[in-house]
Structure 1
Amino acid sequence: MGRRRPTTDPAPALFAGEADGPDFSHETMLMARGARYVAGVDEAGRGPLAGPVVVAAVRLDPNHIPSGLDDSKKLNAERRDHLYEAIMGHADVAIATAPPDEIVSKNIRGATLAAMARAVRALPQAADRALIDGRDVPPALPCPGIALVGGDGRSLSIAAASIVAKVTRDRMCAIMDCDAPGFGFSGHKGYGTAAHLAALDRHGPCRHHRAEFAPVAMLLQRATVT
Structure 2
Amino acid sequence: MTRHVPDYSFETAAMARGLARIAGVDEVGRGPLAGPVTAAAVVLNPTCIPDGLNDSKALTARRREDLFDAIMSCAEVSIAHATVEEIDRFNILRASHLAMERAIAGLPIPPDHVLIDGNMTPRGLTLSSETIVKGDARSVSISAASIIAKITRDRIMVDLAQQFPGYGWETNAGYPSKSHRLALRNLGVTPHHRRSFKPVHNILYQQENVSD
Give the TM-score, by structure 1 length.
Answer: 0.90
Q: Does 1:141 align with 2:148?
A: no
Identify the match of residue 112 of structure 1 among 77, 96, 103.
96
Q: Secondary structure at the match of 1:215?
A: helix
> Does the aligned pair in 2 maintain the 1:131–1:147 contact within 8 Å?
yes
Secondary structure at the residue paired with 1:201? helix
After the TM superposition, which of the residue ranges 134-143 and 82-91 deviates more from structure 2?
134-143
What RMSD in Å do the two structures reach over aligned CA positions?
A: 1.1
Aligned in 2, Cα 1:213/1:19: closer, same or farther, shift over 3 Å?
closer
1:151 corresponds to 2:138: no
Unaligned regions of 5+ residues in structure 2, if any? none
Could you say if the C-alpha distance between residues 27 and 88 of structure 1 is closer, same or farther in structure 2, counting changes exceeding 3 Å?
same
- What letter matches 1:191 in structure 2? Y
1:51 is matched with 35
4+ residue runs over 2 A deviation: none
- What percentage of residue pairs aligned between the two structures are identical? 47
- Judged with a 3 Å threshold, the aligned counterparts in structure 2 of structure 1 residues 150 and 225 are, in CA distance, closer, same or farther, namely same
Deviations 1:3-22 (A, max 9, x none): xxxxxxxxxxxxxxx98310
Q: Report the count of equivalent residues.
A: 209
Q: What CA distance in whole angstroms lies between the structure 2 residues aligned with 1:111 and 1:189?
A: 18
Q: 2:126 and 2:98 mapped to 1: Cα distance?
A: 11
Contact persistence 1:49–1:216 (CA under 8 A) = yes
The aligned amino acid for 2:71 is: I
2:160 paired with 1:176: yes
CA–CA distance in structure 1, aligned partners of residues 116 and 138 of structure 2 = 11
| CA distance, structure 2, for counterparts of residue 123 and residue 44 of structure 1 | 18
Matched, 1:27 2:11: yes
C-alpha distance in 1 between matches for 2:4 and 2:205: 47
Q: Which runs of 5+ in 1 are unaligned?
A: 1-17
Name the counterpart of 2:106: 122
- Mapped to 2, the partners of 1:152 and 1:183 lie a distance apart of 29
Distance in 2 (CA, whole Å) between partners of 1:125 and 1:21 is: 28
- Alpha-carbon contact 1:121-1:142 (below 8 Å) kept: no
**2:114 partner letter:** A
Map of 1:223 onto structure 2: 207
User: Matched residues in 2 for 1:105 and 1:154: separation?
Assistant: 33
Question: Relative to 1, partners in 2 of residues 1:124 and 1:19: Cα closer, same or farther, differing over 3 Å?
Answer: farther
Structure 1 range deviating more: 78-87 or 113-122: 113-122
Matched, 1:63 2:55: no
